[in-house]
Amino acid sequence: MTIVSVKVPRMLGLAIGTAALAAAAAPSLLGVRGSGMILRAIFAALGVIALIAGFLLLRYKRMIENTPSSKVRSVAMGLAELKGVARPHDAPLAAPFSGLPCLFYRFTVEQEESTGRAGRGWRVIEQGVSDAPFFLEDDTGRILVDPAGARTELNRDYRQVARDGGLFSRRKRYTEYRLDPGEPVHVLG
């Protein structure tokens, strides 16, 4: 099930695959011998992997595009696509960091770490997702949506970077994604 619209870049994997295959051919065009063969094999393998990933993304994108949108009143069994607004099933949840009322949330806590000479990066140390059901409502009715195990694409609604343990502690980044009551929602599942 997908909540909110899924944005799959057009032909991105195919473009990356083609570029990697072209890069694999470059050492032979430049007359590189010996270790150039290993480099060419590595680029060719990366190109094949990117090409396969591109075709899988394209297949997923076409599945989404070829599923017709339905109204709640006339939804059929099996794969269906619905558009409407999110309404609470029970009392709204409280988002973990902002505390705001919401119907669904996903969050991550990341810790800043050294990545060697290059600088610093973020490592996920905790993540979570809610699984309480909510209603999708359109002009013909409403249907219960169970988001457990769903692939979601939500806008980031909250982010804070803080030092929790004092001046010399590592920084942590708290990020929260929410589906608020009354917000437009697109469901495929």
Structure tokens at 16: 């990356």
Summarised one tens digit per residue, pLDDT across range 130-158 is 989 999 999 999 999 888 888 888 888 89
Is the distance from CB of 100 to CB of 180 less than 8 angstroms?
A: yes
d(CA 50, CA 62): 18
Per DSSP, what are the bridge partners of residue 163? 171
Summarised one tens digit per residue, pLDDT across range 3-35 is 443 334 444 555 555 655 555 555 555 555 556
d(CA 23, CA 12): 16
Say whether pTM exceeds 0.85: no
User: Amino acid identity of 5?
Assistant: S
Is the distance from CB of 166 to CB of 129 less than 8 angstroms?
A: no
Structure tokens at 104: 């669904």
Summarised one tens digit per residue, pLDDT across range 41-96 is 787 888 888 888 888 888 888 877 777 788 888 887 878 888 899 999 988 899 99
d(CA 67, CA 57): 16
Q: What's the mean pLDDT when you consider all of the chain?
A: 80
